[in-house]
Structure 1
Amino acid sequence: MFAAERRQLILEMVRANGAVSLRELARVVQTSEVTVRRDVRALEAEGLLDRRHGGAVLPGGFTRESGFPQKSHLATAEKTAIADLAAGLVEEGEAIVVGAGTTTQELARRLARVPGLTVVTNSLLVAQALAHANRVEVVMTGGTLRGSNYALVGSGAEQSLQGLRVSRAFLSGSGLTAERGLSTSNMLSASVDRALVQAASEVVVLADHGKLGADTMFQTVPTDVITHLVTDEPPVHDERAATELQALADQGVQVAVAGPAAGDPGADPAGDPAPAGRQSRRDVPLQAQRRVNPPGSPPQLRSAAHLTAETAAGERARVADLRRR
């Protein structure tokens, strides 16, 4: 493919999706990320897009929301790895809320195997993924259907969540930064996501590395409200994602990082064979000073395995308390 053809395709992808990672661009145009980075730099010089560490976005500073058809084909391996890891946080018999999104849809497919689970959602896609799960009860919110992401939004959705209390909320979004937290490009979606957060004791954000450092118009979850972040392993050269992950951890977010998806055993982000002993999915601990630590105490290391073991006993007690109520 000639450079002009490559750049035209890159431009079309960014216009269609609002934000695209370099990894995804390189995969689609079938070239290296180094070459794609050079193309993105040239397109930015022409004012046709804005360059971000690890990706490209529409010009203007804020990314816009993609429609479901575009999002469902982006970062599929990363979403699978994130969903696999996040499912390990859900205990038998829990009551949770799950927001709209393609990553939360992947999570829902895995939750179908958790007995005694109650899932409250405003997403038709999440409900569809759980429709045939005999041991899972699905509760849909009311609201007005938003066709671009198959979600129920508006005052009906928000009112149906009033008075609800569950153990955890699982949410996705369009962007995540340590400064603003989780954000989305649609005001109605943001308002319902805030109502979902109000119903939960803990908030788990699911975001692939391409969303790290991206900023969108409407804040949904401030950083200090996010309990856990489950993300995928960024490429080694993606300094933006690595910096953002550390900044989130420093603010008290428990970060769990999934390695390559199960469908790509042993592969690293560059596509090279994994070193001996490396598993297809791994937890990357980040040094993080928890808010509850006394001054001068050493930073704690957090990983998904640590996180899951740490919360399991406490969650059983919380679920029992919810049932009594």
Structure 2
Amino acid sequence: MFAAERRQLILEMVRANGAVSLRELARVVQTSEVTVRRDVRALEAEGLLDRRHGGAVLPGGFTRESGFPQKSHLASAEKTAIADLAAGLVGEGEAVVVGAGTTTQELARRLARVPGLTVVTNSLLVAQALAHANRVEVVMTGGTLRGSNYALVGSGAEQSLQGLRVSRAFISGTGLTAERGLSTSNMLSASVDRALVQAAAEVVVLADHTKLGSDTMFQTVPTDLITRLVTDEPPPHEERAAAELQALADQGVQISVAGSHQPPAEAPPPPGAAGGRSGAVRRDMPLPGQRRTVHGAPPPGGPQLRGTTGPGALGEQLGERGRVADLRRR
């Protein structure tokens, strides 16, 4: 295939999907990622697309949301590894909320093996993955079906989450930056995700490395409310993605990197350590160019956990298992 043909095909894929990873582009045009990266640079110089960490997006600085069929094929191996790692955070008998997305769908398939689990979700795909799981209770929000990602959105979904208290929220999105946090391209989806986050004591973001550094229209979770990021290891050439991970860790986000076979380490904070939020920063592998480090509990100043309960459609369904801590800032 000639360079002009490759670049035309790359441009068509980006226009159709909004955002495409370099790996997927290389697979479709049947060439190396190095060649695709060169083509993407040339198209960016012409103003036809924008480069992002590990991929290309529509020009203008904000990616638009791809449909489920396109997203399900992007970074599929990375999403599987992320889901494997995130599932280890959930214990028997917990109550959690799981948002919509292809990565959270992978997580749901693994949560089917956790006995006594209660999962609250607005995603039909998450509910379907858990429908036949033994000893797993699935509670769905109300709302209006959004067909592009098979999620329930709108005021019905948000109202059904009022008063809900669970241990963790597992959320995905379209972009993630240290400056702005997690974001998505759809206003209705963003609003429901914010309601899911408000119901949880801890917020776990699932995002592969291609989303690091991307920014989209609607913020869902600001960085200071993200407890943990579960992601995959950026390729060696993606220095900007590694820098974004470091910036997130510097703001107190616990980083778990899928792909490492070493057990995560946790240790007390070094003398004089400051900043961050409660809990050790966990890295399953060090960031490129750095030694493996861990940080412990910071001095007072971050959010604190305060036990709360309250009435609400889903909170009443969950009963005692839904009555756990609520994340509140001092």
TM-score normalised over the length of structure 1: 0.83
Superposed CA deviations along residues 209-267 of structure 1, whole A, max 9, x for unmatched, are 000000000000000000010001111000121010000011100101112xxxxxxxx
Q: Is the 8 A contact 1:257 1:283 kept in 2?
A: no
Amino acid at match of 1:302: R
Quote the residue 2:313 is aligned against: none
CA distance in 1, matches of 2:25, 2:263: 25
CA distance in 2, matches of 1:86, 1:156: 29
| Partner SS, residue 173 of structure 1 | coil
Amino acid at match of 1:106: E
Change (3 A) 1:287 1:201: closer
Quote the residue 1:268 is aligned against: none
CA distance in 2, matches of 1:222, 1:287: 25
Quote the residue 1:96 is aligned against: 96
Change (3 A) 1:233 1:283: farther
Q: Is the 8 A contact 2:166 2:322 kept in 1?
A: no
CA distance in 2, matches of 1:304, 1:192: 31
Quote the residue 1:221 is aligned against: 221
Quote the residue 1:134 is aligned against: 134
Quote the residue 2:16 is aligned against: 16
Quote the residue 1:323 is aligned against: 321
CA distance in 1, matches of 2:53, 2:202: 30
Give the one of 283, 306, 310 matched to 1:303: 283
Residue 287 of structure 1 deviates from its aligned partner by: 11
Change (3 A) 1:296 1:143: closer
Counterparts of 1:161-176 in structure 2, within 5 Å, are 161-176=161-176
Residue 140 of structure 1 deviates from its aligned partner by: 0.2
Residue 302 of structure 1 deviates from its aligned partner by: 2.1
Change (3 A) 1:37 1:283: farther
Quote the residue 1:197 is aligned against: 197
Extract unaligned runs of 5+ from structure 1. 260-280, 311-316
Change (3 A) 1:159 1:22: same
Quote the residue 2:59 is aligned against: 59
Residue 32 of structure 1 deviates from its aligned partner by: 1.5
CA distance in 2, matches of 1:205, 1:46: 34
What is the Cα-based RMSD across aligned positions, in Å? 2.8
Amino acid at match of 1:140: M
Q: Is the 8 A contact 2:53 2:214 kept in 1?
A: no
| Partner SS, residue 234 of structure 2 | coil
Of 18-27 and 102-111, deviating more is: 18-27
CA distance in 2, matches of 1:53, 1:288: 31
Q: Is the 8 A contact 1:250 1:289 kept in 2?
A: no
Residue 324 of structure 1 deviates from its aligned partner by: 8.8
Q: Is the 8 A contact 1:257 1:284 kept in 2?
A: no
Paired-residue identity, %: 86
Give the one of 239, 253, 261 matched to 1:282: 261
Q: How many residues align?
A: 291
CA distance in 2, matches of 1:323, 1:147: 31
Counterparts of 1:36-185 in structure 2, within 5 Å, are 36-185=36-185
Quote the residue 2:232 is aligned against: 232
Change (3 A) 1:74 1:286: farther
Is 1:186 aligned with 2:186? Answer: yes
Is 1:33 aligned with 2:18? Answer: no
Residue 53 of structure 1 deviates from its aligned partner by: 3.7
Q: Which runs of 4+ in 1 moved over 6 A?
A: 284-290, 297-300
Quote the residue 2:303 is aligned against: none
Change (3 A) 1:297 1:66: closer
Change (3 A) 1:204 1:301: closer
Amino acid at match of 1:236: P
CA distance in 2, matches of 1:134, 1:284: 29
CA distance in 1, matches of 2:3, 2:265: 39
Superposed CA deviations along residues 247-294 of structure 1, whole A, max 9, x for unmatched, are 0011100101112xxxxxxxxxxxxxxxxxxxxx4369799998xx87
| Partner SS, residue 302 of structure 1 | coil
Is 1:241 aligned with 2:241? Answer: yes
